[in-house]
Structure 1
């Protein structure tokens, strides 16, 4: 499970890189940030798919989306000088609390690989 969590952490980092680059691409008019969007999201989805071989979908996606949202909000505040009001702070605290809660819940679940779906052949 440790390797899968590492892959999930890397997927989050690349998702944040892709999202930040999306802002910097200015509507895909700047070439380098536009390329970083494709590389960031492509790598994020690839790594997430590898983590999903071991991790439950509901857990992995919630952690990926919640942590990515929180980190992106912090980058917006620090890098892009976006406003942060009480409602946004409370929302981020709820997201962070949810991520912590999901991690606590996962520690109680048994480890098992995801079942492979059966392929059907026509004919």
Structure 2
């Protein structure tokens, strides 16, 4: 169940961050409300996850997955540069999360 709530937290954070891009500095109402709602849901679900998962593991997965997916969204859909350095950076974030998880939960 913890991984399910964590997945929901990650999805909510990704949607919130994407909405923030479209809020144009919080000058557009609906994307701004989407940002606020998405982050509230993300933090609520992350807090629920922390009841049964260590904070280091949960936060590493949450922040790493969010960072990697948002970077990919930017490169694929928003016209951001997709050069070797950026792709390597995303891969390093993913590798870091994997290494942290290999360290166990203690």
TM-score when normalising by structure 2: 0.93
Structure 2 portions without partners, runs of 5+: none
**Aligned-pair Cα RMSD in Å:** 1.3
Question: What's the counterpart of residue 38 of structure 2?
Answer: 40
**Superposed displacement of residue 5, structure 1:** 0.8
Structure 1 portions without partners, runs of 5+: 111-123
Q: Report the structure number with the largest CA radius of gyration.
A: 1
Question: What's the counterpart of residue 19 of structure 1?
Answer: 17
C-alpha distance in 1 between matches for 2:15 and 2:103: 28
C-alpha distance in 1 between matches for 2:36 and 2:7: 19
List, as ranges, runs of 4+ consecutive aligned residues in structure 1 with deviation greater than 4 Å: none
Question: What's the counterpart of residue 28 of structure 1?
Answer: 26
Count matched residues: 106
TM-score when normalising by structure 1: 0.81
